[in-house]
Amino acid sequence: MKEFKGRIVAPGTVTAEAVVSHGGFNTLASLQGALQFGDKKATCGDQNNPDLHGKELAGKALCLPQTIGSTTGGLVIYCACAMGRQPACMLFSKPIDSLAAAGSILASVWCPETQMPVVDNLGDEFLDYVKDGMSITIKEDGTVCVE
């Protein structure tokens, strides 16, 4: 087991299975099927992300460097939470962008029943270490345990 300390963006504790992207995460392209077409597993539809394309995102610990894409990113994150199709958590190796932060914070305030903890600034070592299928636990203080 290895621990990483990050900054809490949206609070919460959770244990979930990791899915890892080494490239930027396009929120709209990845989650459009879940939001528009009723895919409850939130299968990643972003064909430009070979790490995640075709993988289930709902209920998973989404490990990524950063988000990319349009200005809809925050709204997409909030809507995924409102619909109960969000990842279990989002773990950023780099600082979170303002749009993803806004969507995550709004979801934590407006949709408290669908908790999605978000931690950023975990570092490049985090993304190098974590692999798909590993178990990830987020503690209340923002510590991320990977086993």
Predicted local confidence at residue 38, as pLDDT: 85
Cα distance between the two ends of the chain: 5
DSSP 72: T
Strand partners, 14: 138
Number of domains in the chain: 1
Strand partners, 138: 14, 144
Predicted local confidence at residue 112, as pLDDT: 86
Structural domain containing residue 103: 2-146
Predicted local confidence at residue 125, as pLDDT: 98
Predicted local confidence at residue 36, as pLDDT: 87
Low-confidence ranges of the chain (pLDDT < 70): none
Residue 115 sits in a domain whose CATH number is 3.50.30.10
Phi, psi at 132, each rounded to 5° = -50, 140
